[in-house]
């Protein structure tokens, strides 16, 4: 069927009709246009022109979609951080494990058992396993400057004249600076005068010496001239640093918890993340400890860390060490001369939690039963375990005669040792406290009088703690520090 169209139809009357044909009036028939497919209102043809492509239409993002995407990003970041943390921690512990068992030879790129490092044999190319090792030093000279008595009187030494007290005659602030620099740790040094008649009887009559004019920068022992009397009537007393000072005054077996702010010289000597011994800062770069801490496989320097400024035992961080020097007279069989010095690769920053303790003057004059304090993280009981928190114990000095009696330690006690504690036991240092400080308070400062050395058991009756006598080691300490600037 074709398309629907409009048409006109003409009706013509038939014969016999009463109507006359001529009377019929036919209307004029209008011409109807033929059907067409053309629109009545044609549009102008659109000529396509090059232009920008339209972006496809997308549904607008909802807040829920945005939150979901943010959550996915955060989850991804968190996962990466956790994985990196796990890998870093694993790498740290793997390195600690390897370092505890092996020494790495860098030049020959190989590992050797740690026991072969520092054993006197070159197991690495170039002997690098024998280079960074514990050394020893025997002093055969007299360090020419010292402080003596509780008044810290300055004395100088010469082979011909021996020890002489320095008069206050012609003494200047620059002389104070020079003398204190020779003695080690120096911070805001100052000098005072002590009347000669206030000295002990054996020192009231000399011998004396005094500085020569124009010798302010000359080493003090080379800048003096002998005197029969001090014209000023006084001698020089020095205070060279802020050592032994703490902001507050406030378990070793039978001890109590302590805060590092009150004992800021206390440090932990560690290997492989494990606490091995205690020690004491005697300057920002030097630590005093016990020689017996470096026996066996503990002679390689790179394995040691000195952790300072902490009340609670920690393993992260710590200072590297570039020198460990044992007293050359150390006798392992008798624990005699049981002292060592460790030099840090860089000085610590002195502050509330880190501060050197004072070395004692010569002839400190400690009386029997003088009250002292020992600190450390050692065992809380014999055959126990290390304390996680710093401990302190207040103990009295035991006189040499009592400690060397046959019922205590007898001939095992030498002049390089002192004893402290209670003959009935109960309070004592123990394993892990070795090398730590025994300190005494006087003249507003704490002084290092002993280094934890040995004992029979811990806190046993008539078996008190034995300490290396620091006063007897002063000459060795000052000489080592001077020779290793």
280 is catalytic: no
434 is catalytic: yes
Q: Which residues of 286-298 are buried (b: 16+ CB within 10 A; e: fewer)?
A: bbbbbbbbbeebb
Which of 336, 338, 428, 433 is catalytic? The answer is: 338
Looking up tokens 């005197």 gives 227
Alpha carbon 160 to chain centroid distance? 45
Looking up tokens 């004059």 gives 365
Alpha carbon 427 to chain centroid distance? 29
3-state SS assignment for residue 77: helix
CA atoms within 13 A on the CB side of 218: 11
292 is catalytic: yes
Query: For residues 287 and 267, is the Cβ–Cβ distance under 8 A?
Result: yes
Q: Which residues pair with 180 in a beta bridge?
A: none
Which of 234, 268, 387, 434 is catalytic? The answer is: 434
Tokens of 381: 């009981």
Tokens of 342: 């460790």
CA 229 – CA 198 distance, rounded (Å)? 15
CA 477 – CA 448 distance, rounded (Å)? 12
231: part of which helix (H) or strand (E)? Answer: none
Which of 292, 297, 308, 404 is catalytic? The answer is: 292
Which residues form the catalytic set?
A: 292, 338, 434
């Amino acid at each position: 069927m074709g398309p629907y169209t409009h048409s006109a139809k003409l009706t013509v009357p038939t014969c016999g009709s009463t109507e006359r044909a001529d009377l019929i009036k036919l209307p004029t028939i209008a011409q109807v246009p033929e059907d067409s497919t053309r629109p009545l209102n044609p549009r102008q043809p659109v000529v396509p022109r090059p232009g920008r492509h339209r972006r496809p239409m997308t549904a607008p993002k909802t807040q829920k979609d945005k939150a979901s995407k943010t959550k996915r990003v955060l989850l991804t970041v968190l996962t990466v951080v956790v994985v990196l943390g796990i890998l870093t921690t694993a790498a740290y512990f793997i390195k600690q494990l390897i370092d505890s068992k092996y020494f790495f030879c860098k030049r020959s790129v190989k590992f050797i058992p740690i026991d072969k490092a520092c054993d006197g044999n070159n197991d690495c190319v170039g002997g690098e396993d024998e280079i960074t090792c514990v050394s020893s030093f025997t002093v055969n000279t007299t360090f020419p400057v010292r402080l003596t008595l509780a008044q810290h009187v300055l004395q100088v030494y010469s082979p011909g004249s021996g020890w002489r007290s320095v008069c206050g005659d012609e003494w200047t602030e620059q002389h104070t600076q020079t003398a204190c620099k020779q003695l080690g740790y120096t911070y805001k040094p100052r000098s005072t005068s002590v009347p000669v008649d206030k000295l002990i009887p054996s020192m009231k009559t000399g011998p004396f010496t005094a500085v020569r004019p124009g010798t302010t920068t000359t080493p003090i022992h080379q800048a003096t001239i002998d005197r029969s009397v001090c014209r000023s009537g006084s001698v020089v007393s020095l205070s060279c640093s802020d050592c032994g000072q703490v902001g507050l005054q406030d378990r070793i077996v039978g001890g109590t918890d302590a805060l590092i702010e009150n004992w800021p010289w206390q440090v932990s000597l560690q290997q492989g993340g494990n606490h091995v011994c205690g020690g004491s800062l005697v300057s920002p770069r030097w630590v005093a400890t016990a020689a017996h801490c470096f026996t066996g496989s503990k002679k390689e320097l790179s394995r040691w860390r000195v952790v300072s400024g902490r009340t609670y035992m920690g393993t992260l961080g710590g200072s590297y060490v570039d020198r460990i020097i044992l007293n050359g007279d150390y006798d392992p069989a008798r624990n005699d001369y049981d002292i060592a010095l460790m030099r840090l690769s860089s000085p610590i920053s002195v502050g509330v939690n880190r501060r050197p303790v004072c070395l004692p003057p010569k002839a400190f004059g400690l009386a029997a039963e003088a009250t002292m304090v020992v600190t450390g993280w050692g065992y809380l009981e014999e055959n126990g375990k290390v304390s996680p928190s710093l401990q302190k114990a207040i103990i009295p000095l035991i006189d040499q005669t009592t400690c060397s009696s046959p019922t205590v330690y007898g001939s095992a006690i030498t002049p390089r040792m002192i004893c402290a504690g209670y003959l009935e036991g109960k309070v004592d240092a123990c394993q892990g406290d070795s090398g730590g400080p025994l300190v005494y308070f006087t003249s507003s400062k704490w002084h290092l009088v002993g280094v934890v050395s040995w004992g029979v058991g811990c806190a046993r009756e008539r078996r008190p703690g034995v300490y290396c006598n620091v006063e007897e080691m002063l000459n060795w300490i000052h000489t080592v520090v001077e020779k290793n600037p």
